[in-house]
Amino acid sequence: MVSIFDTIESNKRNSMVLLVFSFFLFLGVAWSASYVLSLGEFGFIILGGVGIIYILFAYFAGDRLVLSMSGAKEVTREEQPFLYNIVEGMALAAAIPMPKIYVIESDAPNAFATGKDPKNASIAVTTGLLKIMKREELEGVVAHEMSHIGNLDIRFMLYAVVIVGAIALLGDLVGRMIFFGGSRRDSKGSGALVIIALVFMILAPIFAELVRLAISRQREFLADATAAKITRYPEGLASALEKLSANSVPLSAATSTTAPLYIVNPFAGKMGHLFSTHPPIEERVKRLRNM
């Protein structure tokens, strides 16, 4: 058996290592761009300004956009007393404020959490999820989403997305500048370094995206472990994940932007695990039952 607390600490550590790696990858791309175009600190200033604007927009408006894109409707205790009771109980167990509750009209069972911090968070579930889950299974799913809120996963993933986006943006910008104006490094001695820098800028966005996906998978493992700690019943979430794995109904409300937020990948089966936002459900179930 594996300790729940050891699992939580391990996933937090792995997530941070991946995030730090992606940050240094970004620094490498920034250096390459500065070297190839002789921009010096100017490139860092441009990227920093764009990054700050993106972070502020995502931080203050991201949750509302996600809920709107998903077609989620806020519900009251009178409309969904059973769901409301479970969310309220899991919020108390997780020691975080009661989040707003939303329901998505869809037969595809799924759920996600969003919000910039625990005081401004929301949990959304589909009607399909409510139809097939027993109480202990729904508690496991809700606890998983509570864990994302309590662990600040949404903010954490925002940092990862911003770094990956900055790498892709910088690589594209430099490519266009070279295409239209050429490299400013024309000396023969620097030719090899220019080629190395260009190759690095081409490959870095691919590696950065793989790192982002790896971070997302680590945070899912972390949320599973934290949910087990909250409910003290790992089997509830394990059983819920098995039911979700058996689902074949597509979730039309999901997009490539919102997919990482859901408890299971709404596009599962369309790509390998390396390019998935979620770890294999079989592995998640195995870890839960070993706790």
Report, as residue numbers or ranges, the catalytic residues: 145
Beta strand spans in the chain (E) = 73-74, 100-104, 111-115, 121-126
Please report the DSSP string for 208-237 in residue order. Answer: HHHHHHHHHHHHHHHHHHHHHHHHS-HHHH
Phi/psi of residue 256, nearest 5 degrees = -65, -25
Q: Amino acid letter at 132? A: I
Q: Measured in whole angstroms, how far is the alpha carbon of residue 114 from the centre of its chain?
A: 10
Coil, helix or strand at residue 103: strand
Number of helices (H) and strands (E) in the chain: give both, helices first: 9, 4
What's CA 80's distance to the chain center, in Å? 28
What is the rounded distance in angstroms from the CA atom of residue 240 to the CA atom of residue 95? 23
Distances (CA, A) of 212 to 45, 158, 276: 24, 10, 10
| Distance, CA of 168 to CA of 187 (rounded, Å) | 27
Residues with Cβ within 8 Å of residue 246, at least 6 apart in sequence: none
In single-letter form, the type of residue at position 5 comes to: F
